[in-house]
Structure 1
Amino acid sequence: FERRERLAGSSLLVFANKQDIQGALKPDEIGKVLNLEVMNKDRHWKIVGCSAYTGDGLLHGFDWLFQDIASRIYVLD
């Protein structure tokens, strides 16, 4: 229980790598495998398809993460 409290309000970004390879699980499929739908609605999470080889999706994922964190930092001021 203590660990959950320490993670309260944290952002979770999951990169679904290898999207450039045929047969790779899609981001929504990975969400189902990880059972992320059952997380509380107040938890901030996103799964982004990417390819570390080509770089596709990486900026999109980091942009979401920075925006998510920034939106909550300014709320605390």
Structure 2
Amino acid sequence: MIIPTGKRKGQNPGLASIYRALAEHEKRQAYPEAVETAHADFATLQAEGNDRSLRATCRFAGASGGQGRVGVPSTNVS
């Protein structure tokens, strides 16, 4: 086994990592409906998070007079 990504990319995993991966795989096999539900919930939270961050950005820009940051003068010279 070779670690495909991250800090230890290209190296062999430790015993604890192998055990953890096998345990996660076994859980996924035992409870496929829980995995599907978790994926759906995560997608919903991601979509809501993106909507919230866009709304917060719009509110923030509106509160700062369109500058984007409160109290920082615009660098646009007219």
For normalisation by structure 2, the TM-score amounts to 0.30
Which protein is richer in strand relative to its size? 1
Larger RCO (CA within 8 A; separation ≥ 6):
1
For normalisation by structure 1, the TM-score amounts to 0.31
